[in-house]
Amino acid sequence: MSTARHNPLNSVAAHTALIAYTLIALFPVFVIVINSFKERRAIFREPLALPDAESFSLIGYQTVMKQGNFFLYFQNSFIVTVASLFFILLFGAMAAFALAEYRFRGNMLMGLYLALGIMIPIRIGTVAILQMMVSTGLVNTLWALILVYTAQGLPLAVFILSEFMRQVSDDLKNAGRIDGLSEYKIFFRLVLPLVRPAMATVAVFNMIPIWNDLWFPLILAPAEEVKTLTLGSQVFIGQFVTDWNAVLSALSLAILPVLVLYVIFSRQLIRGITSGAVK
């Protein structure tokens, strides 16, 4: 895709708009990070000032580290996010492949049924989910969160991926069938690599809400050993006193892993290996 005409004015205008948007989007993050390195009074006196020799302080980070369980929270969040993404992508892609590839009775209805979840927030079912988790004994386990997040992410994943899978050349799949590849091999070896950009999109869309979620960890897994990072950070926010240094430090730290995951997935977003497969 190359643009035929290069109008420098257009290019400047486009970049100005993009840079402006980037600044707006990054500003809150920036404020959080700079303030996490300041002492408490400096945060309130001059929230927008950069930390200088006088106001610089690592007290927030020290509090967070002293809290002890912080690394455990990190680990919990990470396990829940990665496992949920894995299951969303695996089951979502499989369901999408079946819907896109096979003609069977009720295909359309099944597709609509699976997409219905996009419109109905899963939180409506919180009470029922909690009862279910209690009776299955999954309360206060990471599995409770992983299962709920997988269910929450599947509808959109199926919806997006089935659209992309319809675009994968039928000839390619048929060539695989004639060469004796099983349907599973066709799915994993031919189709999945070609819809990788779509998978990355789905992963990014799902990752952030899962990482940031407070609702389900609070209800389904509030025990100390399964607390997620977002829930763990709440100890610093009290009804009367809030340890802002610690909150901001915890939030700054929480950004890092998501950033890493995003970088991994965004490489896939950009890269497409479809060229050369057909035509």
Partner 1 sequence: MTALKLDRVTKSFGRIQVLHDIDLEVEEGEFVVFVGPSGCGKSTLLRVIAGLEDATSGRVEIGGAEVTRTPPAKRGIAMVFQSYALYPHLDVRGNMALGLKQEGQPKAVIEERIAEAARMLELQPYLDRRPSDLSGGQRQRVAIGRAVTRQPQLFLFDEPLSNLDAALRMNTRIEIAQLHRALGASMIYVTHDQTEAMTLADRIVVLRAGRIEQVGAPMELYNNPANRFVAGFLGAPSMNFLAPVTEAPEGAVLGIRPEHLRPEAEGPIRGRITHVEQLGGDTNIVVDTRTGEQATIRMFGQHRARVGEEIAMGFDPAHGFLFDAEGRRLA
DSSP conformational letter for 51: P
Q: Which is closer to partner 1, CB of 63 or CB of 169?
A: 169
Alpha helices in the chain (DSSP H): 8-36, 40-45, 59-66, 70-101, 107-116, 126-136, 142-167, 170-178, 183-185, 192-194, 196-212, 215-220, 229-233, 244-270
Q: Which is closer to partner 1, CB of 52 or CB of 171?
A: 171
Q: Round to whole Å and give the CA distance between 245 and 161.
A: 42
Q: Which is closer to partner 1, CB of 28 or CB of 276?
A: 276
Minimal distance, residue 199 CB to partner 1, in Å? 15
Minimal distance, residue 175 CB to partner 1, in Å? 4
Q: Round to whole Å and give the CA distance between 73 and 64.
A: 11
Q: Which is closer to partner 1, CB of 123 or CB of 267?
A: 267
Which residues here bind partner 1, judged by CB under 8 A?
Answer: 169, 171-172, 174-181, 189-190, 193-194, 273-279
3-state secondary structure of 200: helix
Minimal distance, residue 207 CB to partner 1, in Å? 26
Minimal distance, residue 186 CB to partner 1, in Å? 10
